[in-house]
Structure 1
Amino acid sequence: MSTDRLRTLGTKTVGPGHPVYVTGEIGINHNGELENAFALIDAAAEAGCDAVKFQKRTPEVCTPRDQWDVERDTPWGRMTYIDYRHRVEFDEDGYRAIAEHCAERGVDWFASPWDVESVAFLEKFGVPCYKVASASLTDDELLRAVRATGRTVVLSTGMSTPKQIRHAVEVLGSENIVLCHATSTYPAKAAELNLRMIHTLQNEFPNVPVGYSGHETGLQTSLAAVALGACFVERHITLDRAMWGSDQAASVEPGGLQRLVRDIRTIEESLGDGVKKVYESELKPMQKLRRVKGVVAEAETGTGAESGSVRREPVSV
């Protein structure tokens, strides 16, 4: 198999022929509380996720200046928007604690940096990769910063045109990225998921592994993405969809996350290699149920019999 479409994330390989890499997107659903972050890491570990992902921002860079002093109601009382943005960010000690907890639970962690300063911050932790959010796909300065780290970059393509996607791939370089199809509405409507874009991206970028970042409700469509060939799947996760926060309603609760990972593993096992064969488990049912052996020689059936095309024996007339 060609290694063109294989990427390394920590100790794992992402791409065709390898298990789907499943990421639980914590984002800011922790609401600035380490206890919530730890509980979400635990839920991801117990479900069998490969990694969890956070979002890292420098509030003064990522918050428009005219929004700093706008007041809003929060779980911690009424505060300015800039104070709220600081309230939901973890400092270096917080991420050290997160890194330790992830190591104890056996899951990787990484983050979406939303500005160049956040890339420098995250470099302190040796994360296995970076995620570029759909909203940041047009930020060439950020793309160059994450490329300069030499780490694998996972790029989401929501709210972007084909021309913008091609440009972002050019800036990042195609040799060390994973592309994720996404629709950036929260929650996304099924009619707007356009999952066949997975095939479009595979055809457009034949040397790049393609995944799926979902913001829909329910699990069926993320599972369909795996059946269509997504080798990386990311879903937002939450302790409770009724919690305060803009991303909670489009997130998956712990029980749903367990079902999602379980069913992804079943689907990838069931897809097989596309080569038709008669399995040993079929021999007894064949002997019992098949009344007419057919024109193909019996020697061609049995354990390991395999052929994409079927050879036919001459028939006497």
Structure 2
Amino acid sequence: MKVGSREVGPKCTPLVIAEIGINHGGDINVAKEMVTLAANAGAECVKHQTHFVEDEMTIEAKSIFPPNADVSIWEVISQSALTPDEEVELKAHTENLGLLYISTPFSRKAADFLAEIDVPAFKIGSGEADNLPLIRHISKFGKPIILSTGMQTIETIRPSVEIMEQAGVEYALLECTNLYPSPPEIVSLKGIEELRKAFPKAVIGFSDHSIGSEMALASVALGASILERHFTDSRYRVGPDISCSMDPAELRWLIDRSREVHIALHNEKQRTAPEENVYRFARASVVSDADLKAGHVITENDIWARRPGNGEIPGYRFDDLPGRILARDVKKNTQLRWADFQ
């Protein structure tokens, strides 16, 4: 798939998405500073959350308290949402720094707004992964969709995938666990392969809410092409997603290490040219294990394999020698050559 001009898939280095989300607390200046820090850390893409609270929730949301907040979800979002003009400003700032700007719409109005400001792709969060009318609405825009699959099973997300495929949009599915933070006891790395097998047309990635980068890097080793993690300017900031957010240093580390893991993932099993100097001393050569006379018929007890490996007969040819007849005398511990035999 393509997000803007960025190719995303198994053959490409992982796309690391720095999710600013609502970590800015509704302050446009903080949001812009977070984007700047992400750019300085080497990020290619930042993700925001676009909220139009009245179109997103009903009044019942005022009595629902998320496990990672001490106020209702209505208040969390109301306090953290940027105005449309501020989001346009944030997108312009992001793109001026050369980064891709994508966002998660949590309502039909938010999706329409993001289409109007021409985001290169839509991100759909786990909470909306089975919101079929919203997914159908977003799919009509014809832009790539990155769908997190937290709190879902293969079967419950199948209808959503069918909608995207019928619309003909490029899409990615991210394995995800929606607890902030997520302990390893409930994180599913196995889910990456299960998604790949169930939905072979999808680009597969990992949306990480654990503490540290270990799970994200492990997902790359399993073939994840997208890594999404919450991002903040400081881990000491107060906010519902801060506990599982990475700071600029952690973002840089994740980008660099994920690229290294991706490179290693695609290297064939072989002896490489840089290993040749090691190979010459580290492997073994076949040697005599006793003083032997010309005309002697070699048995396994007469020979052994010892370092270095610069001898003419390597250790892996050991079984070719028993039964051969010596053409000359050899001393114990002498590297044997093919010419030593009749």
**Under TM normalisation by the shorter chain, which class is it?**
0.7 to 0.9
Larger Rg: 2
More relative contact order in 1 or in 2 (CA 8 Å, sep 6+)? 1
Give matches, 1:80-229, under 5 Å.
85-173=77-165, 176-229=170-223
SS in 2 for 1:277: coil
Show the 5 A alignment for 1:159-308.
159-173=151-165, 176-273=170-267, 275-292=268-285
CA distance in 1, matches of 2:75, 2:198: 43
Aligned with 2:228: secondary structure? strand
* Deviation of 1:315 (Å): 4.5
Give, in angstroms, the shift of residue 219 of structure 1. 1.0
Paired residue total: 286
Structure 2 partner of 1:298: none
Q: Secondary structure at the match of 2:25?
A: coil
> What per-residue deviation string (whole Å, max 9, x for no partner) do you get for residues 58-112 of structure 1?
10122331345999xxxxxxx9975764442222321222122112221101101
1:19-60 per-residue CA deviation (whole Å, 9 max, x = no partner) reads 101100111111111111112111221222220001112101
Displacement, 1:289?
3.1
Structure 1 residues 315 and 260, CA gap change in structure 2 (3 angstroms): same
Q: How far does the alpha carbon of each residue in 1:263-285 deviate from its partner, in whole angstroms, 9 at most, with x for none?
A: 11121122233x33322212222
The residue type equivalent to 2:123 in the other structure is: K
Aligned counterpart, 1:306: none
Unaligned runs of at least 5 residues, structure 2 = 66-70, 287-316, 324-342
- Between the aligned partners of 1:264 and 1:204, the Cα distance in structure 2 is 25
Q: Deviations over 1:238-280 (max 9, x none)?
A: 122332221111211222112111211121122233x333222
Q: Any stretches of 5+ residues in structure 1 without a counterpart?
A: 1-6, 72-78, 294-311
Q: CA 1:96–1:267 in structure 2 vs 1: closer, same or farther (change >3 Å)?
A: same
**TM-score normalized by the length of structure 1:** 0.83
CA contact (8 A) 1:60 1:82 kept: no
The 4+ residue runs of structure 1 with deviation greater than 3 A are 66-71, 79-87, 314-317
What is the TM-score when the length of structure 2 is the normalising length? 0.77
Q: Percent identity?
A: 29
Specify the alignment match of 1:47 in structure 2.
41
CA 1:192–1:97: 2 relative to 1, 3 Å: same
Q: Is the 8 A contact 2:154 2:195 kept in 1?
A: no
